Chains A and B, each alone.
Chain A
Amino acid sequence: MTFLKILEQVESDRFAAYLNAASGFNIFRLALENKQELRTLIREMQKHPNYAQSIFQRLSSLLKVNHQPQYAHPHDVALAGYLFALSHINSELTVDAIDQILRTPQLWWSQRLAKFLQAKLSKDEIQIDWMGQTKHMNINSASSDGIVVNVVPITTQPTLRNITQTSVSDTITTSYNYKFENRFFSQDSQSADAYEREI
Chain B
Amino acid sequence: MSILRLGDQSTPSGDCFVYARSGKPIPCEIVPSDSLDLMRIHGQELMNWRRGLTLRSISNYPYNCVGMIFASRRAWVEIDHIYDLLTGDGYRQIPVNDVMIGDVVVYKNQGFASHVALIVDIDRSMANSIRVISKWGKNPEFIHFQENVPDLLGKPAEYWTERI
Contact of A18 with B109 at beta-carbon distance under 8 Å, contacts A13-B41, A13-B42, A24-B78 already known: no
Q: Which of A66-74, A85-93, A133-141, A163-171 contacts B (4 or more CB under 8 A)?
A: A66-74
Instruction: Identify which of A13, A26, A71, A73 contacts B80 (C-beta below 8 A).
Output: A26
The answer to whether B64 touches A14, judged by C-beta atoms less than 8 angstroms apart, is no
Q: Is B46 an interface residue (CB 8 A)?
A: yes
How many residues of chain B are within 8 Å of chain A by beta carbon?
Answer: 34
Do B32 and A20 have beta carbons less than 8 Å apart? no
Knowing A27-B109, A71-B38, the reply to whether A34 touches B46 (Cβ < 8 A) is: no
How far, in Å, is A26 (CB) from chain B's closest CB? 6
Chain B positions within 8 Å of A13 at CB level:
41-42, 45
Chain A minimum-CB-distance residue to B60: A71
> Which of B3-11, B90-98, B110-118, B121-129 contacts the other chain?
B110-118
Name B152's contact: one of A30, A106, A107 (CB within 8 Å).
Answer: A30
Contact indicator A20/B152 (Cβ below 8 Å):
no
Task: Tell me whether B109 and A30 are in contact (CB under 8 A).
Answer: yes
Distance in Å: Cβ of A165 to nearest Cβ of chain B: 41
Determine if B33 and A16 form an interchain contact, defined as CB atoms under 8 angstroms apart.
no
**Cα–Cα, bound, A25→B79 (Å):** 9
Distance (whole angstroms) from the CB of A171 to the closest CB of chain B: 36
Determine the distance from Cα of A31 to Cα of B144 in the docked complex, in whole angstroms: 21
Interface string of A52-88 (1 = CB under 8 A from B): 0000000000000000100111100000000000000
A17 with B42, Cβ < 8 A, contacts A22-B137, A30-B152, A34-B152 known: yes
Query: How close is B146's CB to chain A, nearest CB, in angstroms?
Result: 15
Cα distance A18–B114 in the bound complex, in angstroms = 14
Distance (whole angstroms) from the CB of A39 to the closest CB of chain B: 14
A71 to B60, alpha carbons, bound, how many Å? 9
Residue contact A22 to B152, C-beta cutoff 8 Å: yes
Establish whether residues B35 and A27, one from each chain, have CB atoms under 8 Å apart when the complex forms: no
B138 nearest CB neighbor, chain A only: A20
Contact residues of A between 1 and 18, Cβ < 8 Å to B: 13-14, 16-18
Contact present for A24 and B80 (CB under 8 Å): yes
Q: Is the CB of A18 within 8 A of B152?
A: yes
Q: Is B86 an interface residue (CB 8 A)?
A: no
Q: How far is the CB of B113 from chain A (nearest CB, A)?
A: 9
The docked-state distance in angstroms from the alpha carbon of A45 to that of B159 is: 43
Binding site for A on B (CB under 8 A): 31-35, 38, 41-43, 45-46, 49, 60, 64-66, 78-80, 109-110, 112, 114-116, 136-139, 149-153
Supply 27 A–B pairs (Cβ within 8 Å), ascending by A.
A14-B49, A17-B43, A17-B45, A17-B46, A17-B139, A18-B46, A20-B139, A21-B46, A21-B150, A22-B152, A23-B78, A23-B79, A23-B115, A23-B136, A24-B64, A24-B79, A24-B80, A26-B78, A30-B109, A30-B152, A31-B152, A72-B32, A72-B35, A73-B32, A107-B32, A108-B31, A108-B138
